[in-house]
A and B are shown apart, each in its own frame.
Chain A
Amino acid sequence: MLSLLLIVVPFLSALLLFVSKSKSTKQISLFSTIITFGIAVAAMFMVKHNPNTNLLQLDLNWIPSLGIHFNIEINMLSSLLVLLTAFLLPLIVLSAFKNEYANEHQFYGLMLMMQSALMGVFMTNDGFLFYVFWELALIPIYFICLLWGGENRAAITFKFFVYTLLGSLFMLVGLIYVYNHTNIDGMKSWNINALYEAGRSLNADQQGVVFWLIFIAFAIKMPIFPFHTWQPNTYVNAPTQGTMLLSGIMLKMGTFALIKWLLPLTPIGLQDCGHTAIILSVIGIVYASCIAIVQKDYKRLIAYSSIAHVGLISAGILTANQQGLQGAIMQMLAHGVNVVALFLIADILLRHTGTRELDKLGGIRNMNGNFAVLFLIVVLGSVALPLTNGFVGEFLLLSGVYKYNAAIAGFAGLSVILGAVYMLRSYQHIMLGERIDNHNTFGALATSDKAVLIIACIAIVAFGIYPAPLNSMAEQGIKELLAIIKPN
């Protein structure tokens, strides 16, 4: 029931917004997202302390003849992603308060729609339903980018949509292929366990094919080098909240799906092809980091940094060991928070100074010290300084990759250095030194922006120092998953 609420509450709120066109759109959305967050927290506690309650799962027969169920469940792993989604949405909604969007009831409505679909993606235990939610999540974000994006948005969102959709179609083919091999009492089934079983029963060649078919969809979504070129443009052109949704949560769809929908499905395929995929991921880390160094637009810089981060996450996942996977989960949580904060900062910069160009900024620290501190904490979180949230994930990820192959880990570890280079460089350009042009005021932060940044910073530090509550869940969840991937 709780799990259904997580989908239904945002969905109904979105419908309410679409229909009512109320003046207090912002308040309604904030209220809805906070309620959802409350439910998510409750669900997480329940997972931890009372996992067998049937409040957490729901299994309705949707299309019986095809073995399709409306099957959603909050378990150890999904609760973390659900929590992330529920945690970020209020922040994203709040961050939009200072922007005046035309037709804002639609804007907020679409965001809530998106939340609903994302929740579905993370919770579902039915392969078909997964695909449906996966695509459904694409539509609101497409419209958000299309209707409220920057210049040239039509062509860019177009590419984004077609590109990701192409990937999804391949995934659909891969999933159907596995589905065709399922057999539950003579019936085919889309149930995740049936799919796992069917996937494992395939021979090496078949698993390899399925692996690539599905991996491509995730690789495009995350995105992994060299399927990433839609991403920077889309991130830059999307409205800030769209970018936050894309990078903060939607990106995690890819990584999470990799964990839940690919690794256990094709263990042999992973063994045979995982290496190539890891290498692609790792190339992406260094490649995107290098490119981030020379970016002039701060938002684009963050976009590339996101590619680098996700490359490491993906590499960690594909190593399929406890540390890599657990690190991936932790890093997803951390990256979600950090990147949302970073994009908000980019938006604040744009609103207060009219530009995001590094060369035109500078000296803001003189004008607003509090902002500088918050910004710095976020930067430190994203360069994974110890005792920030980014560290635990990155450390575990790298140790997972190291376990897999030391040389690859060494190469991937370059991100430790390069990340510091581009993050500190941009921070210096924006905040430090003297102001270049003659704008000498930056102004105080809006309360909503400040609230978002402070909450993000608290999360960054708190979960950096004491990650255990989340980490223990990730550990447990990954252990269960590994028991499926590597039964012996």
Chain B
Amino acid sequence: MIKLIPLVPLFPLLGFLVNGFFGKKLSKSLSGSIASIAVLASFIISVLAFIELNGSTNKSNVIDVFSWINAGDLKIPFQFLYDNLSSLFLLIITGIGFLIHVYSTGYMHDDEGFSRFFTYLNLFVFFMLLLVLGNNYLITFVGWEGVGLCSYLLIGFWFKNTAYNNAAKKAFIMNRIGDLGFLLGIFLIYITFGSITYTDIFDKAGSVPTSTITAIALLLFVGAMGKSAQLPLYTWLPDAMAGPTPVSALIHAATMVTAGIFMVVRSNIFYSISDVASETVAIVGGITALFAACIGLLQNDIKKILAYSTVSQLGLMFLGLGVGAYSSAVFHVTTHAFFKALLFLGAGSVIHAMGGEQDIRKMGGLKGKIKITFLTMFIATIAISGLPPFSGFFSKDELLAHVYEHSKALWLVGMLTSILTAFYMFRMLYLTFYGKFRGTHEQEHHLHESPPSMTFPLIILAILSALGGLLGLPEFLHLPNWMHHQIGEVIIMKGKSLITLSHEVELILMCLAVAAAAASIFFAYNLYLKNKVLPVANESELKSWQRLIYNKFYVDEIYEALIRKPIDAVSDVLYKYVDVAIIDGVVNGVGSAVKGVGSVVRLAQNGNIGFYIISMIMGIVFIVLFTLLYR
């Protein structure tokens, strides 16, 4: 089965081609089925291959596809690497991908761009699979940029809306900033190792100066910052919610945004060697986690809340990566994929029920109307808030334990983040599902549960969110941590990724986390359920600190003022003044100078013989005197 791994990306590619060329002619159900089946086929192969991999002793399989780019000593074959890390990501991508495809057949049913949507979605899956399967940085980069493209296409899916288009463009460009870092990192790797193939270079990393490794790690991390929406390149992700909700679930929660995590785990040796780089990762991750969680507190758009929550959770993962907790981070990626996909899909179901409304201030009391959605989302909310025994609890707890060991301050940041997370998630839950319905009469009349094609994925994901913790049970309780063993295979310097805390401390930390989350939930309960506080409708009624948060710390505005506007202004100046006026001016100036001098010189030809003779004689005298004196 492992030999068939190239088929895994091939199926979605075929789906893409079929839908891309013939989509308009196919019926909607056929088009959706083709796309879903393509991903399902990939999923099945992934599962079979996964089983085979776990049964075999060879944990790192390199599969040649074709020879791709050769340039002297730079040889880049099109090659896949199938090992424990990529096999896990394959499962996540194809599994959740399949569910979301199924969900989308329901969600997008009435959209005129139905087949186009699936075309893009399949293409996305293809690129995402390339990203995780590549055996060198360039194939990862191909996938990396490819998913960026699909993200661009899907965010701007409703292309008549200028705001959506702007969001799409912003996502692409922000990502490209990161990509440049990634690309430079690849070059440095190539210069340093003479190769960019994973299986060639990681073993040699130890013999390279640490400063070089640091540079490589930091450059790669810049790429990760873009793709995984970390400070300062995170602003595109909330805007990306312009896309259809399944897209947010698949791309902007479960898979694409975790590519940064994947890449750092893939390159773990660099981060293990370089303390500077790993510190940076941890700090950036921590700050992002807290920062985004703060913004999440006061958002009113159901998808925006989830978006900031995603940024915040990604921050946590990087925090984990920074302290060397690679397997915990991957664990959190996995559980996060479950519950965040579920949350988004649930939100989609809510929006679907509400007829397109996304503002939680206009919702409320939905729990009786859309039961399945409510129940599944409830599970997901608990999971993300870190309450046992749901999946989020295990992954977050393991991660924070690592952080605590590494740095108390960062641990505090992580704790704070999870407290805030619990608060705003429950705020969302309460405002959406509890209380009275606050929407229009028409909407109330329209409220209905989503079709089975949408609820089925919700249920599956709810089960996964609930039970996902089983993948990584705490070791200190002498339970099997499967995830640790799985990912441990690809961690080259294992020392850093082991927890050495005493069991008591871990236990205390765990309880502390649960207590804090519970308290936070209770606070939210008091505020929104008991006291029925509603988010104000008008910004001016907010206190100044609230206004700051409500406006997302004005980051977008700052970027606009500090980067976009100056670039536009500078470009304008360059064009109007430097290019047209100065450079072209000089060129034209030479031309007109020639003409000007010419029109002066020709005046000497004044037609008067006397003058001609005088000039001649002057010429003669000058020549004779000059020559004779000069000699």
Interface residues of chain A, those whose CB is within 8 Å of chain B, are: 159, 162-163, 226, 228-230, 287, 290-291, 293-295, 321-323, 326-327, 363, 365-366, 380, 385-387, 391-392, 395-396, 398-399, 402-403, 406, 409-410, 413-414, 416-417, 420-421, 424-425, 428, 431-434, 466-468, 471-472, 475, 478-479
Closest beta carbon of chain B to A145's beta carbon, Å? 17
Q: Find B568's partner among A294, A322, A392 (CB 8 Å cutoff).
A: A294
Q: Find B142's partner among A387, A410, A479 (CB 8 Å cutoff).
A: A387
Closest A residue to B139 by CB, please name it: A386
A385 and B169 within 8 A (CB): no
Instruction: Pick 8 A–B contacts, CB within 8 A, sort by A.
Output: A290-B570, A291-B571, A402-B190, A413-B183, A428-B169, A431-B159, A432-B156, A475-B70
A417 and B180 within 8 A (CB): yes
Asked if A386 meets B180 with Cβ closer than 8 Å, knowing A392-B69, A409-B187, the reply is no
**A230 contacts which chain B residues (CB < 8 A)?**
587
Q: Find B574's partner among A291, A414, A417, A432 (CB 8 Å cutoff).
A: A291
Closest A residue to B215 by CB, please name it: A406
Number of residue pairs spanning A and B whose beta carbons lie under 8 angstroms apart: 140
A433 and B160 within 8 A (CB): yes
Q: Find B159's partner among A163, A365, A425, A479 (CB 8 Å cutoff).
A: A365
Chain B interface SS verdict (over half): helix
In order of increasing CB-CB distance, the 10 nearest A-B pairs are: A322-B72, A386-B142, A402-B187, A229-B584, A290-B571, A291-B575, A294-B571, A432-B159, A326-B71, A420-B176
B147-163 CB mask vs A (1 if < 8 Å, else 0) is 00100100010011110
Q: Find A226's partner among B67, B570, B583 (CB 8 Å cutoff).
A: B583
Q: Find A293's partner among B142, B166, B188, B567 (CB 8 Å cutoff).
A: B567
A386 to B138, CA, bound (A): 9
Extra A-B contacts (6), CB below 8 Å, given A403-B191, A424-B172, A432-B165: A290-B571, A410-B184, A428-B166, A432-B159, A466-B68, A479-B72
Q: Which of B456-479 contact A (CB under 8 A)?
A: none
A365 to B188, CA, bound (A): 41
Closest beta carbon of chain B to A263's beta carbon, Å? 16
Closest beta carbon of chain B to A124's beta carbon, Å? 26
Closest beta carbon of chain A to B44's beta carbon, Å? 26
Confirm or deny: B529 has a beta carbon within 8 angstroms of a beta carbon on chain A: no
A387 to B78, CA, bound (A): 12
A322 and B141 within 8 A (CB): no
**A424 contacts which chain B residues (CB < 8 A)?**
152, 169, 172-173
Interface range for B: 35 or more
**B578 contacts which chain A residues (CB < 8 A)?**
287
Closest beta carbon of chain B to A291's beta carbon, Å? 4
Closest A residue to B564 by CB, please name it: A421
B173 and A468 within 8 A (CB): no
A472 and B571 within 8 A (CB): no
Confirm or deny: B146 has a beta carbon within 8 angstroms of a beta carbon on chain A: yes
A416 and B190 within 8 A (CB): no
**B68 contacts which chain A residues (CB < 8 A)?**
466-468
Q: Find B183's partner among A327, A366, A416 (CB 8 Å cutoff).
A: A416
Closest beta carbon of chain B to A409's beta carbon, Å? 6
B146 and A467 within 8 A (CB): no
B180 and A413 within 8 A (CB): yes
Confirm or deny: B506 has a beta carbon within 8 angstroms of a beta carbon on chain A: no
A475 and B72 within 8 A (CB): yes
A396 to B72, CA, bound (A): 11
**A287 contacts which chain B residues (CB < 8 A)?**
574, 578-579
B146 and A387 within 8 A (CB): yes
B579 and A414 within 8 A (CB): no
**B66 contacts which chain A residues (CB < 8 A)?**
466, 468
Asked if A159 meets B71 with Cβ closer than 8 Å, knowing A290-B574, A402-B188, A414-B180, the reply is no
Asked if A385 meets B146 with Cβ closer than 8 Å, knowing A290-B570, A291-B579, the reply is yes
Q: Which of B550-596 contact A (CB under 8 A)?
A: 567-568, 570-572, 574-575, 578-579, 583-584, 587-588, 591
B160 and A398 within 8 A (CB): no
**A431 contacts which chain B residues (CB < 8 A)?**
159
A254 to B70, CA, bound (A): 25
Confirm or deny: B239 has a beta carbon within 8 angstroms of a beta carbon on chain A: no
**A162 contacts which chain B residues (CB < 8 A)?**
591
**A399 contacts which chain B residues (CB < 8 A)?**
71, 74, 186-187, 190
Confirm or deny: B110 has a beta carbon within 8 angstroms of a beta carbon on chain A: no
B174-209 CB mask vs A (1 if < 8 Å, else 0) is 001101100110111011000000000000000000
Asked if A416 meets B179 with Cβ closer than 8 Å, knowing A290-B571, A291-B575, A385-B149, the reply is yes
Asked if A323 meets B72 with Cβ closer than 8 Å, knowing A416-B176, A428-B165, the reply is yes
B109-153 CB mask vs A (1 if < 8 Å, else 0) is 000000000000000000000000000001001100110010010
A229 and B146 within 8 A (CB): no
Confirm or deny: B442 has a beta carbon within 8 angstroms of a beta carbon on chain A: no
A279 to B21, CA, bound (A): 45
Closest beta carbon of chain A to B121's beta carbon, Å? 16
Confirm or deny: B504 has a beta carbon within 8 angstroms of a beta carbon on chain A: no
A417 and B176 within 8 A (CB): yes
A417 to B73, CA, bound (A): 28
Closest beta carbon of chain A to B162's beta carbon, Å? 5
**B568 contacts which chain A residues (CB < 8 A)?**
293-294
**A228 contacts which chain B residues (CB < 8 A)?**
583
A387 to B186, CA, bound (A): 17
Closest beta carbon of chain A to B38's beta carbon, Å? 18
A291 to B177, CA, bound (A): 19
B583 and A229 within 8 A (CB): yes
**B169 contacts which chain A residues (CB < 8 A)?**
424-425, 428
A396 to B571, CA, bound (A): 28
Q: Find B74's partner among A159, A323, A432 (CB 8 Å cutoff).
A: A323
Closest beta carbon of chain A to B214's beta carbon, Å? 14
B72 and A433 within 8 A (CB): no
B138 and A395 within 8 A (CB): yes
A293 and B587 within 8 A (CB): no
A87 to B309, CA, bound (A): 52
A323 to B194, CA, bound (A): 12
**A416 contacts which chain B residues (CB < 8 A)?**
176, 179-180, 183
Most chain A Cβ neighbours within 10 Å, of B142, B173, B571? B571
B146 and A386 within 8 A (CB): yes
**A386 contacts which chain B residues (CB < 8 A)?**
141-142, 145-146
Asked if A380 meets B149 with Cβ closer than 8 Å, knowing A291-B575, A420-B173, A424-B172, the reply is yes
A406 to B186, CA, bound (A): 12
Closest A residue to B116 by CB, please name it: A369
Closest beta carbon of chain B to A479's beta carbon, Å? 7
**B142 contacts which chain A residues (CB < 8 A)?**
386-387, 391
A294 to B488, CA, bound (A): 51
A323 and B71 within 8 A (CB): yes
Most chain A Cβ neighbours within 10 Å, of B66, B69, B142, B587? B69
Closest beta carbon of chain B to A421's beta carbon, Å? 6
Closest beta carbon of chain B to A213's beta carbon, Å? 18
A398 to B183, CA, bound (A): 9
A416 to B159, CA, bound (A): 24
Closest A residue to B591 by CB, please name it: A159
A366 to B159, CA, bound (A): 9
A433 and B162 within 8 A (CB): yes
A229 to B574, CA, bound (A): 13
Q: Find A472's partner among B70, B72, B141, B177 (CB 8 Å cutoff).
A: B70
A421 and B187 within 8 A (CB): no
Closest beta carbon of chain B to A41's beta carbon, Å? 22
A251 to B571, CA, bound (A): 24
A293 and B571 within 8 A (CB): yes
B146 and A409 within 8 A (CB): no
**A467 contacts which chain B residues (CB < 8 A)?**
68-69
Asked if A322 meets B184 with Cβ closer than 8 Å, knowing A291-B575, A293-B571, the reply is no
Closest A residue to B142 by CB, please name it: A386
Asked if A294 meets B160 with Cβ closer than 8 Å, knowing A322-B72, A323-B74, the reply is no
**A327 contacts which chain B residues (CB < 8 A)?**
71
**B176 contacts which chain A residues (CB < 8 A)?**
416-417, 420
A226 to B574, CA, bound (A): 12
Closest A residue to B582 by CB, please name it: A226
